[in-house]
Amino acid sequence: MSNVAAVTTNNFENEVLKSNSPVLVDFWAAWCGPCRMVAPVIDQLAEQYSGKVKVVKLNVDENPEIAEKYQILSIPTVYLFKNGSKAEEMVGARPKQSFEEMINKHV
């Protein structure tokens, strides 16, 4: 998780909503098998898009307020935020190419 910062309810607004660059948010939980499958891909995306897209993770068990606000009903869910609002979302474990296609539309 070298290039992927953890965000919480306390810093979500500053790190995600007020970011000058697009932000990819991985909503996950420690007990979630598919989340663990996606984690290496999220790490690769953080490295690949370094300087263009901020990549962060939010643990839904530790930050239920944010998960509820964005109606995260299934994990992993990945949102791409741009200019303070959700631009796109992807639910479930997906191949890296799917995430790249989503990101490339917004950078």
* Cα(34)–Cα(105) distance, integer angstroms: 25
Catalytic residue, from 7, 23, 24, 32: name it.
Answer: 32
- 47 in active site: no
Catalytic residue, from 4, 24, 35, 41: name it.
Answer: 35
* Cα(55)–Cα(52) distance, integer angstroms: 10
Could you tell me how many residues make up the chain?
A: 107
Strand order in the sheet with 85-91: 5-7, 54-59, 23-28, 77-82, 85-91
| Helix, strand, coil percentages, rounded to 5, for the chain | 35, 25, 40
- 32 in active site: yes
> Mind telling me the catalytic residues?
32, 35
